[in-house]
Amino acid sequence: MVALSRNIAPKHAMQMLLSGEFIDAADALRFGLVNEIVAKDELESRTFDFARKLASKSPLTLAIGKRAFYRQAEMPLAQAYAYASGAMAENLLAGDAREGINAFLTKRQPIWSGR
């Protein structure tokens, strides 16, 4: 109940909790429980495609973003905006940000340093 009510609209959570009924993939997508639906025979390739996409990103940038996402979610709105602004500034000052911008401008793949 706790995880469900914190991740989907209250009316959908209440419906699921009170009825005890199973939902299908289309409803799971509509309720926001899953990001996408893929055919069973496409699942492995889609999973690896997503993993490759994440692996191509700066580990430092991903860590800053992930940390900021979870921390700001627990803050009041004004504090969350202030915190997120600081996280964006931290990210922009990192060497990986410069590398990413340079790689984009020179049309090459970035080489992440984690700094």
- pLDDT tens per residue across span 45-85: 999 999 999 999 999 999 999 999 999 999 999 999 999 99
Residue 50, classed as helix, strand or coil, is: helix
pTM of this structure: 0.76
pLDDT of residue 115: 86
| pLDDT of amino acid 17 | 96
pLDDT tens-digit map of 84-99: 999 999 999 999 999 9
Block residue for tokens 């700001």? 72
Residue 26: CB atoms within 10 A of its CB come to 9
**What is the pLDDT at residue 102?**
95
